[in-house]
Structure 1
Amino acid sequence: MPGRDVRQDAAVTTSPAADLLAAASVDEAVLALRPDYRALLVVVEGLHPAAGDAVSEELLVRAEEHARELLAADPVEELPHIAAWREAYRSFGAKPQRTRNSLEALTRRAPQGLPRVNRLTDVYNAVSVLHQMPLGGEDLDRYTGPPRLVRAVGDEPFDTSAGGEPVVEHPEAGEVVWRDDAGVTCRRWNWRQGRRTQLTGATTTAIFILDALDPMADDALHAAADDLVGHLGTAGPPLTSARRLLAV
């Protein structure tokens, strides 16, 4: 699927990151389920792995308070962006009351306290809640080929864990998944990320996937990306970032 928009914050037009963004795609079979779907892919290079700090903590606290305000006004399943994702899950056979999209899971958890993992993960979790969109981050150096959003055949490997032990599972046929050449990187659109490409304490180049459905507008999607990159860039030397909006 052609991208509608490409933005870069530095001259990276011939870098591996730019090549990967150019090759990323969303399959037409996914768009048939939700023609309003858009994915904003953001590659950030030069990250400085670190524990949480004052910046990430302040952002998490803001996100927790924002979730409390939202849930004081409406039930979680009636929040507009969460309701849209619940419908998207039903479109490929998932039951949203049992399988919660990442935005709903975080929004539900936020009033009692979001997890504190590391600076990188804490920032993107907080941005997800504050901007009310599913947002995932993965180590780009662990990718094999470009990211593609497809409907699964059912035999693709998904590297995950069960009971604390590593296992390889497979998605259901027809399930919406992100994948690369080596297998599934995230199941059920934005439900669970795999172990193979997960962010670690050694991650210096990450790809972030920001998911949008109506009623979220493109400018709101880019505002969330600006917020994400801005907060990630407060520690250490300046970062290099590039982005591509995949849309009809």
Structure 2
Amino acid sequence: MIEDIWVDPAVAELRPDFAVLAMAVYGLRNGPTDDRSRAWLAEAADRAVTPDDPRVEAWRDAYRAFGAKPQRTRPSVDALVRRMPLPEINLVVDAYNAVSVGHGLPIGGEDLARYAGTARLVRAAGDEPFEVVEKGEPAIDHPEIGEVVWRDDLGVTCRRWNWRQCVRTRITEETSDALFLLERLDPMSLEELQAAGNELTVLLEEITPGLHVETRLVTA
């Protein structure tokens, strides 16, 4: 699956420095937040980057490049570092949120059982479906024309690069196979990106010893 992930040239024109470390993880045994993942979140909060960190500011610049207003719809890592203590979701989401704020990079998590086809980062046409919940009811939204989005064959999986994930592919306690997208811009080095991936792998292996992990670096 990860060997087919691609970045559209129109996105590469915006940020030639973009890279994503894709991690496909198979055989997870997820579950509710416990004392172990609470400790990860607490430790990550103690070492979290600040909103004015250059790695976070790079994402606000990237949002402005395609017309988004990062003060209104914040990049995921920017939103997380302003939200302390970190929210408790489930073991797997707690793990990647802890890595995200500790290293200052956005991380997305997708349930592969609900994913359709190849993950790709593109600029939206504007008519792609984006599944959300509004007032407790399922609804369909759409991205703006030219917005940078992650998508699969069925529609948008994450709007505004890494701002908001669709309901369909989010990781739940029933997720067993997952795709993680660790995203990087300058000034984060590729070595830092790999270190974040290594840390996430360690935490996921604490949740599920013996799981299978495949990784691939995709650049603009």
Which bracket does the TM-score occupy, shorter chain normalised?
over 0.9
Which residue of structure 2 aligns with residue 97 of structure 1? Answer: 71
Q: Which runs of 5+ in 1 are unaligned?
A: 1-19
What is the SS of the residue equivalent to 1:233? helix
TM-fit CA distance, 1:66: 1.8
Q: Which runs of 5+ in 2 are unaligned?
A: none
Please say which of residues 119-128 and 51-60 is displaced more in the overlay: 51-60
Task: Provide Cα deviations, 1:215-242, integer angstroms capped at 9, x if missing partner.
Answer: 0111111110110011111134311000
1:25 matched to 2:6? The reply is yes
Task: Give me the TM-score of the superposition, normalised by structure 1.
Answer: 0.86
TM-fit CA distance, 1:54: 3.1
What is the SS of the residue equivalent to 1:186? strand
1:59 matched to 2:40? The reply is yes
Task: Provide Cα deviations, 1:180-237, integer angstroms capped at 9, x if missing partner.
Answer: 0100000000000001111112100000000100001111111101100111111343
CA RMSD of superposed structures (Å): 1.0
Mapping of residues 184-203 of structure 1, within 5 Å: 184-203=156-175
CA distance in structure 2 between the partners assigned to 1:155 and 1:164 by the alignment: 23
The answer to whether the Cα contact below 8 Å between 2:26 and 2:212 also exists between their aligned partners in 1 is yes
What is the SS of the residue equivalent to 2:109? strand
TM-fit CA distance, 1:55: 2.6
Amino-acid identity (%):
51
How many residue pairs match? The answer is 220
CA distance in structure 2 between the partners assigned to 1:239 and 1:214 by the alignment: 31
Runs (4+) of structure 1 exceeding 2 A deviation are none
The residue identity in structure 2 corresponding to 1:108 is R
Which residue of structure 2 aligns with residue 162 of structure 1? Answer: 134
TM-fit CA distance, 1:178: 0.2
CA distance in structure 2 between the partners assigned to 1:164 and 1:101 by the alignment: 24
CA distance in structure 1 between the partners assigned to 2:20 and 2:136 by the alignment: 31
CA distance in structure 2 between the partners assigned to 1:55 and 1:232 by the alignment: 12
2:196 aligned to which of 205, 208, 224? 224
Mapping of residues 1-248 of structure 1, within 5 Å: 20-67=1-48, 70-71=49-50, 76=51, 78-110=52-84, 113-248=85-220
The residue identity in structure 1 corresponding to 2:189 is A
Task: Provide Cα deviations, 1:76-134, integer angstroms capped at 9, x if missing partner.
Answer: 2x211111000000000000111100000000012xx1111111111111110011100
CA distance in structure 2 between the partners assigned to 1:146 and 1:55 by the alignment: 33
The answer to whether the Cα contact below 8 Å between 2:75 and 2:106 also exists between their aligned partners in 1 is yes
The answer to whether the Cα contact below 8 Å between 2:91 and 2:207 also exists between their aligned partners in 1 is no
Task: Give me the TM-score of the superposition, normalised by structure 2.
Answer: 0.97
